Amino acid sequence: MYILLMGPPGAGKGTQAERLIEKYGIPQISTGDMFRAAVKEQTPLGLEAKKYMDNGQLVPDAVTVGIVKERLAKDDCKKGFILDGFPRNTAQAVALDSELAAMGRDLDAALLVSVPDASVVERLSSRRTCKSCGYTAPAGTEVCPRCSGEMYQREDDKPETIQRRLDTYHTQTAPLIEYYRGHSILKEVDGDRPVDEVYADVKDLLSL
């Protein structure tokens, strides 16, 4: 089961991925995790990516695709994976298809968790994060339930920042949605509902 997970920030992709991981034992692979692992392992591509990351620049597509290829070749991906945060553009999507084909694999589905912008802004702006352990809780929580640390609103969770992130998401993702729709593997689920309802539909869409 090879799945690409798409959706705006705050759509609940992580929650759905956690349930799929728990039930089917396949890894969730995010771009950030891959970059951090490659840098930590000091692979040639990891060191190349680090140069761009240290300068606050976007890692070029060729380096990103190379790091993804290395990650997907590992044993834990043989029976499936959930890709999150990659590809970010159609050039990366074409490269991913090519690399998977070379491995004798194909994406089974590009799962799009759709949530209206207004709901995303409401969800994320009402979130508070612990300064000590990173635990998240609803607004109004002043003391972390996990470690008693101080709760605060991250810059990323302020409405104006969220809207900028959404604008970027729509610009980048719209062409990808059409790309995977054209390949007849796009599956769309309404994520603006209770988690259990969304997960039930996800399982139906993926024929699980």
User: Which position among 36, 88, 105, 203 bears the catalytic label?
Assistant: 88
CA distance 45 to 127: 35
Peptide bond into 44 cis (omega under 30): no
**What pLDDT shows up at residue 111?**
96
Options 71, 123, 128, 165, the catalytic residue: 165
Predicted local distance difference test score (pLDDT) of residue 85:
83
- Among 67, 65, 96, 113, CA closest to 2: 96
Considering just the CA atoms, what is the radius of gyration of the chain in Å? 18
Low-confidence ranges of the chain (pLDDT < 50): none
Output the pLDDT for position 30: 85
Token duo for residue 77: 């991906």
Catalytic annotation present for 165: yes
| HEC secondary structure over 147-203 | CCCEEECCHHHCHHHHHHHHHHHHHHHHHHHHHHHHCCCEEEEECCCCHHHHHHHHH
Task: Kindly name the residue from 105, 127, 158, 203 that is annotated as catalytic.
Answer: 127
User: Is 154 a catalytic site residue?
Assistant: yes
CA distance 94 to 80: 19
Burial 156-172 (b: 16+ CB within 10 A, else e): ebeeeebeebbeebeee
Select which of 13, 71, 128, 187 is catalytic.
Answer: 13
pLDDT for the residue numbered 119: 95
Q: Is 203 a catalytic residue?
A: no
What CA dihedral angle connects 155, 158, 160 and 164, to 10 degrees? 60
Tens-digit pLDDT profile for residues 72-104 = 999 999 889 999 888 988 999 999 999 999 999
| CA–CA dist 126, 111 (Å, integer) | 26
What predicted TM-score, i.e. pTM, was given to this entire model? 0.83
Q: Which of 69, 154, 158, 203 is catalytic?
A: 154
Residue 20, pLDDT score: 92
pLDDT at 39: 87
Is the Cβ–Cβ distance between 114 and 188 less than 8 Å? yes
Given the structure tokens 């390949």, which residue do they identify? Answer: 183
